[in-house]
Structure 1
Amino acid sequence: MDATTEDIDDLITAIAGGTAAVSANLSADGRIRIISDNLLDTLTIGGTAATEVGFAPGANVFQPTNLLTQGISDGDTLTLRVGSGAVQTITFGTGAGEIPTLTALQSDAVNGLPKYTGVISTVNTGTGAVTITASSPADTLEVGGTAASLFGFYTTTALPANGTVIANDLTAFLDQSIGGGAITAYDVSGSPVNIQLRWAKVAGATYGGTDTWNLFYQVNSTATGTTPAWRNVGVNYAFGANGQMDPLIAQVTLNNVTINGIALGNLQLVHGSGGITQFSDPNGTAQVNRLSQNGFPAGSLETVAVSEKGRVVGTYTNGRTIDLAEITLANFNGANALKRLDGGAFEATDESGPAILGAPGKIVGASLEGSNTDIADEFTKLIVTQQAYSANTRIVTTANEMVQDLLNMIR
């Protein structure tokens, strides 16, 4: 029986609609495409008409991507080693326990790779992207094997969360991270030390995980070879769909920080409850709104003043002020009975009584105290002193005259 293309198309539509396990369509050039709905299944076409429409009897119309025809050879391996653990191997091939297709690798990743201790993996059969990460950010992950380069891997040791970036890897690190600004710290002598920061994304929602970033700071700006150039602070900054950190990391302590050979000791990064957020940026950059620190450079004493609280305050050339001493206020029950000493000082006597510390009052700096002298009493004393001086002067004059008379008599 002859059939038109429309008839065949209708038949294919009926087949596709009535068979849950397959999908069928007719292409513009008259080719029939029948595909298994389950990527893990194969579909075999047979019958006397199979060769007439381009199928060979028993041919597999849909077959998952065969890794053995994509450059990977039977027996090639992908090796994984987490931390100091044993090497774990994935073998490609058609034998028992071996992986022949990308879809089989996906199934192994979803259902089987947990048997590979310490790793998390995903396989995208559409793009061919294979992602393998260490379960713990504190572990290293070594990826190798004869098939590694065919997947885009190269034999390397991934950075642990508390690890360093050596100078040899500096170019790759800078290409795969974004600037996070800089902050100035000060060493024990007050000399400024510049701390450079960078952010690197280590996981993302695109690959089925959580958007996670790590913060790095520069430890050696002139590092070469295998010398560490940057260090990871060792904390995962994970963000939810709303752009907020989840869980919240309010502060991070950096222990024994050394920048370009200058020891700074322990530093604390205080983020607060909303200090770090994640929002989409088409340029892939980090916007630093504010960086602040509570250190200060060295300074020398510039001025000294006295506050109302009786504290001697020193002001330094770096803008800092420090309380150098405190003047204690005291009172006496018999203040007028104090013994006067040189230099404007007074001494307690039995009549004045002991000092009463913490007496109410205040100190006014850079001011002269108004006189509390009794002017009338002082003038009376002045007159008495002047009269005594005059009387003494007359005595001296009389004595002088008597001496003169005595000398004249001797002559």
Structure 2
Amino acid sequence: MLKSLYSGVSGMKGFQTKLDVIGNNIANVNTVGFKKSRVMFQDIINQNISGATAPTSISGGVNSKQIGLGSKVASIDTIHTPGSPMTTNVGTDLAIDGDAFFVVTPQTGGGVSYLTRAGNFTLDANGSLVNSNGYYVAGVAVDNNGVQHQIPITISDDQKSNQKFTSYSIDSNGYINVVREDGKSGKLAMDLTTNQYYLNNSTTANQNENISLATSVVPNPGGLKKVGNTLFEETGNSGLANTGRILDNKGGQIDTGVLEMSNVDLTDEFTEMIVAQRGFQANAKTITTSDSILDEIVNLKR
């Protein structure tokens, strides 16, 4: 059988994968925090018709003769360029200007954590800061021994004074500034001995107990695995996540009242769609041409 038949099939499969990725990118053009993907190709193997020969004193060298046997998908990369910011003026809409990710977890008692750039958070009925799937947004506080604790963020009331918080705001370093019903203001903190949330208005004492949003920086963001719901999880090739305060892991700064939108560029996607479509058609034409040649061969004996 003609090798071009199988080369054409491999090309069609590759361009079909490319179209699938492009379709997913376009479908998520307005998804908050979405990171687009791209497909890269490479050739498969080559059949050696003859090897190369080195030049001698009486003759020149000859290059090898090889016939390629198609292409395959080399990688599907996730592109972590920043998306366009969209101003919402909602206090719980957050965006990171930098390389860090927000950290969310399905359970309050720890367990698995996910990374995300989607900062469309809200407060639930208990005053806990959650994402659109109900996952708790992780906060960070440090005990007296310098041990960092990952805790949920609950902006409800001062459990030491039994007074409610009347307003709150999140600053660029991820700290939660709160105002109590008696008019006192300070930072939301947690007494890690009693697990009580309280207002800390001291500029010197218990500063480590101030709660800030947990952020995570990974050495290779492209190695993160997409798990759906605009969430990522660590893999062996992403490297270990450095989770903590955004000031400590140098992940950038947090913008309040802003959302990071998808980094999909429709101009690029439609251009790549044309390339993929024509590539698919060209490979299909290779198959039909090979079929015509085979038909001529079969018709030689009549």
TM range (shorter): under 0.3
Structure 1-normalised TM-score?
0.19
Structure 2-normalised TM-score?
0.24
Higher Cα radius of gyration: 1
